[in-house]
A and B are shown apart, each in its own frame.
Chain A
Amino acid sequence: MRKNIYISLLFVCVLLLSSCLKDNSEVFDKPLAERLDQGVENSKALLESANNGWVLNYYTGRNYSNNGYTLLFKFKDGKVTMMSDQAGPETTGTSSYNVVKDQGLVLTIDTYNQIIHPLTDASLGRPEGNQGDYEFLIIRETQDSIFVRGKRWKNDMVLTRLNNDISQETYVTQLSAIRDAILQNNFKFIAGNDTLANVLINIDGNRFNGTINNVNYSMPFSFTNTGVHFVHPFIINGKEYNDFTWNSQTSTFEKDDIKIASFLPDGFKTIDFWLGTWSVDFTNVSGTRMNMTLTLNPGDGKTYYESVLTVTARRGRQTETTQYKSLKVGYDGNTGGIYLGSQVIPDPSGKYAGGILFSPLRTNGTKLDLVEDGILNYVYNEELETAELVYDKNDPNSADSFVGFGLGSNLQTVIGANGEPERAMYAPEVVSLRNHRPLNNN
């Protein structure tokens, strides 16, 4: 009996003692909060250790869906000075910065900086702006590279230390020279001696579009002082290509055996070429002798022209001329051609209070086939010296004719006596624009 008591008491003793055994084994040598604090200090020290600062290939839009930019930073004593490809080599922006503890370590540009925040600002009607980040989660740091992720829009990006042998101004100047050398969007993607595809490099948004070896690449890129960096690599024959060097002699981006070479597609014309008056070549079914001309005047110098459509009708000895003004004709920077889309223009005769609905559509025998968001595309043909209609019947928006429907004051088409909408003008099968006369030669 006594033995049992002793044994039970001994047992209890052991239990009591083991209650103070530590069973929490620490993986790290310091508690989390302390490591975060240390992390903040280390990150700031690393950022400020670069005398010449850092370069960031910066991408906006969720999943890299929007534009690419190049940003440069110099961090010192809680303040950052920035430059960018957009702002150019003579502009800097200064603000404060911080590294804060928030979902991990976050680099934040926390007062307004005129270099980065215009890329992230929202506005009325665009509540997310460009989907650009100014706060960056720090994922991994090495001496020369800081891997970050945009906090809101989650794009992965890298800050690279800029070596002391080149100033930031020089970097941006060299970058700008490359950017300025790209005058149009069309490039051939060449591996060795084979042209694999025609691709588009659009420097308005720094975006690349092309299908190479059956893989579709639609992605942003950013300029460097020697060429470009594409956010995703091209994978050609098992090799990856991200960074290309610009060869200004040949207007080509090069990397090893891959060349992306600028070329002008057939009939490509710059925007100024199209200014002037063109005769509209259409099939006249009206029973009245009729001429139409289209006069293109300067618009914004980049994407459209302010235009006038002049219709001259001859009835016996009477000549009636009507000018339809405020017509906007677009310039296509990819084809170097022009296009006309659906729009409402004022009615010079005053008959239609709501104006005229200018509608590109298709002629089908004697009928009209309405086309939703119809577009008439014209590309210049050097040989024929005319601008030819580009019509693709498989493209649902492609049109070959246009009509102007009169709109009443309720902005609806006016139905005429025959039960059909009334037309102010009608041009079936506008196959070309010819007899180009420059603006001053009227």
Chain B
Amino acid sequence: MKKYIYLFLVVIVSTVCALSSCSNDDPKGNTIFPTTPIKRDAFDNWILKNYTYPYNINLIYKLKDTETDLTYTLSPADSAKSAQLAIMVKYLWFDAYNEVSGADFIKANAPRVILMVGSSAYTRQQTEVVGTAEGGYKVSLYKVNALNETLLKDYSTLRTYYFHTMHHEFTHILNQVKPYDVAFDKITESAYVSGNWYSQKTRDAHRAGFVSTYAMDQGREDFAEMLSYYITLSEAEWNAIITDAGTSGAALINQKLEMVRSYMQDSWGIDIDLLRNTILRRAGQIDKLNLNTLQ
């Protein structure tokens, strides 16, 4: 009997030890996730109302170097000019797509982060970078501090610095979600020059069946350049490219255009002529935009 009691005691003690060997390690102490509300001024609240809530987009204008390429020396954007550009981007980009394809389309496919940077990114090769996009996730708009009242009414300059890039990068995002027909890449397959695109002349690019020199880099850039130029250039400007391209060049460009058109219609239900008309109509009215009041 005694030995059973001993055994019993030993079992109890070991069970207690085993059970208590891992005492509670519940997290304790204060939370490290901030619970005090962020102070937001009028512009910050406007961004929430017009970018974040409707489209799930984070518009960043206060420069965080974790969001930028550290090889460049960059200056932050002026907050007033950031607000003006934000109003313009909403009017010319988001609201245009909204009209044609609805808010959900943008919410699902737009870049999640739009970063505004005051200066260009100046390279050691004496060139400047004016717009970049990464992984369909973020578009960086540079040179915001160069904006002034005159430039903000000049659609052509705004297009060159900002909107062409945004449409171009957005095309890449759409292509990643739903790929385009690879037959497109074969139309001018032997004429792609990869990194040498920047030493090409625009006229030569047109005559080879490309809408720009950058389009000569590779098929996916060609596709993005086709769409972004077609919907942002006026009819006259587009026809000027077609004319400059000569007969064979024009035929190639038009062939590519048809593939872009059917891609957008079949994959996304978007009529690119309707989109172009909407954008150009809005572009014609930017001088009436009130950029000095956040509404």
Contact = CB atoms under 8 A, between A and B. Distances in A.
Contact of A111 (B23, B66, B73, B78): B78
B78 A112 contact: yes
B150 interface: no
B76 A12 contact: no
Nearest to B10: A9
A300 B107 CA distance: 57
Given A31-B29, A34-B29, A19 B22 contact: yes
Interface string A31-75: 101100100000000000000000000000000000000000000
B180 to A, nearest CB: 36
A13 B13 contact: yes
Contact of B21 (A17, A30, A95, A96): A17
A102 B68 CA distance: 14
Contacts of A34: 29-30, 32
A127 B124 contact: yes
A34 B32 CA distance: 6
B20 interface: yes
Given A16-B14, A17-B21, A111 B63 contact: yes
Contact of B79 (A96, A100, A123): A96
Interface string B80-104: 0110000000000000000000000
Interface residues of A, number: 40
Interface stretch (A114-122, A160-168, A331-339): A114-122
A34 B33 CA distance: 9
A110 interface: yes
Chain B contact surface mostly: loop
Interface string A125-152: 1111100001100000000000000001
A126 B122 contact: yes
A117 B118 contact: yes
A122 B23 contact: no
B177 interface: no
B281 interface: no
A112 B10 contact: no
B3 A123 contact: no
Contacts of B6: 2, 6
Interface centre among B32, B61, B77, B128 (most CB of A within 10 A): B32
Contacts of B64: 100, 110
B76 A111 contact: yes
B29 A120 contact: no
B18 to A, nearest CB: 5
Contacts of A152: 73
Contacts of A30: 29-30
Interface in B1-48: 3, 6, 10, 13-14, 17-18, 20-23, 29-30, 32, 34, 39, 41
A112 B73 CA distance: 14
B49 interface: no
Nearest to B31: A34
A9 B16 CA distance: 13
A17 B17 contact: yes
A122 B129 CA distance: 12
Contacts, number: 102
A36 to B, nearest CB: 9
A120 B75 contact: yes
Nearest to B73: A122
B266 interface: no
Given A9-B14, A17-B20, A112 B77 contact: yes
Nearest to A98: B62
A27 interface: no
Contact of A78 (B29, B32, B39, B128): B39
A111 B60 CA distance: 11
Interface string B126-167: 111000000000000000010000000000000000000000
Given A19-B22, A121-B119, A96 B75 contact: no
B86 to A, nearest CB: 13
A77 interface: yes
A109 interface: yes
Contacts of B29: 30-31, 34
Contacts of B79: 95-96, 111-112
Interface centre among A9, A34, A127, A135 (most CB of B within 10 A): A127
B259 interface: no
Contacts of B32: 31, 33-34, 37
B257 interface: no
Contacts of B73: 120, 122, 127-129, 152
A20 interface: yes
A79 B124 CA distance: 34
Given A37-B34, A123-B122, 19 more contacts: A9-B10, A17-B21, A30-B29, A34-B32, A77-B39, A78-B41, A95-B78, A110-B63, A111-B62, A111-B76, A112-B79, A112-B81, A122-B119, A124-B126, A127-B72, A127-B122, A127-B124, A128-B73, A129-B73
5 residue pairs, one from A and one from B, having the closest CB atoms = A112-B78, A33-B32, A16-B17, A110-B62, A127-B122
10 contacts: A6-B10, A16-B17, A20-B22, A30-B30, A96-B62, A102-B65, A111-B79, A117-B118, A125-B122, A125-B126
